[in-house]
Amino acid sequence: MQERPLSGIRVLDLTNVLAGPYCSYQLMLLGAEVVKVETPGQGDLARNLGPDPELNRAGLGASFLAQNAGKKSLEIDLKAPAGRAAFEDLVRGADVLLENFRAGVLDRLGFGWPRLRELNPRLVYCAVSGFGQTGPMSQAPAYDQIIQGLSGMMSVTGTRETAPLRVGFPVCDTVGGLAAALHICAALAGRASTGRGTFLDVSMLEAAVSAMGWAVSNYLVSGVPPEPMGTQNATSAPSGTFEAADGPLNIAANRQEQFETLCAILDRRDLLDDPRFADREARKLHREELDGELNTVLRRRTAREWEETLGAAGVPAARVAEVPQAVELEQLRHRGFFTDLPFPDGSGRTLRVAGSGVLHDGEPLRPAAPPPLLGEQNGERRELAARWNGTETAVTP
């Protein structure tokens, strides 16, 4: 593979749990050198999170292992004089400083943007928080579920009977991390021409509302609030989850020609002559009747059979997988999406971690090393800081 896009970029990562670590994991996959600065004796809270109590006690919780491969770990106490001095040395040589404290925490520690810019005018400083650094909610605590609720996301998840429901994974953390990674890359590109650093104030709430797309924009444009529709697609019909012989099947016949092809394959061309199903708007009004007609035929074959038959004819369709099935999809294997690494504890076990979902010149981006033990690079701190600052020869081994 050619040199990765962020090769040579140095990221100082003060983040915890998910939004921030997910961001720095993406930067690492793109080639950046990421150094986690962790509280001595404690480290990233995610080290203690996950379904395996033994790993949690060892500081290698599954939540930590998932997002921290390929990074380094230093224990630094930002409240102690020696720790503050060590941190300043690293800031001077860093390209990016990433943190997800509550708004103002780093400033109260004496490292607000004015001080950081004084230490390193070229620094890209990215602060990820629930609500941003300003505004009436800036000091409110926030986790993913809080953001899901306030953004309106939960109100459109589920059915009229079950909503509001939480999305089944921390989507707002992930979206916030992606937004941070995108704007860090943009700031680095801008710095190449201006020579100046940037302060990036990332709001998970705003990133979540932005990511909701049509659920928000349709209301802003039409004034009609979206409603929870379960597995159905509000913009089209038939588009949603249907009943195959062995389980659920997703079909998205969003275009007229796809609906006509679907009817032909199901031997239900009579539906095309029914005024209730003549066009998209009519089908949306009579969604339940149409779904009932289609399910009568779809129940005769398995979801996998329909997936192959309909897909070959140009009608988007696929079975609904559970996570154990999803991670074993041949498509992911073919693309090299997962990487196997040795467990960081030296136990000989294998750790499988996810990639970015993007191939660069036909190749997936992979971490080269497992997640670090807490403080694993403590003994290398002075050499690392000297290398970042271009003063290696001044360091005594």
- Helices vs. strands in the chain: H and E counts, helices first: 17, 13
Written as six digits, the tokens of 393 are: 């020869």
The number of C-alpha atoms within 13 Å of 320 and in the hemisphere containing its C-beta is 14
In degrees and rounded to multiples of 5, residue 288 shows phi and psi of -65, -40
In angstroms, the CA 44 to CA 38 distance is 6
Q: Is 173 a catalytic residue?
A: yes
What's the Cα-to-Cα distance from 112 to each of 105, 141, 368, rounded to whole Å?
A: 9, 20, 33
**198-203 and 124-129 as β-strands: parallel, antiparallel, unpaired?**
parallel
To which H or E segment does residue 351 belong? strand 350-354
Residue 397 in 3-state DSSP? coil
In angstroms, the CA 43 to CA 48 distance is 9
Q: What residues form DSSP beta bridges with 128?
A: 202
Query: Which of 13, 44, 144, 173 is flagged as catalytic?
Result: 173
Active centre residues (catalytic): 173
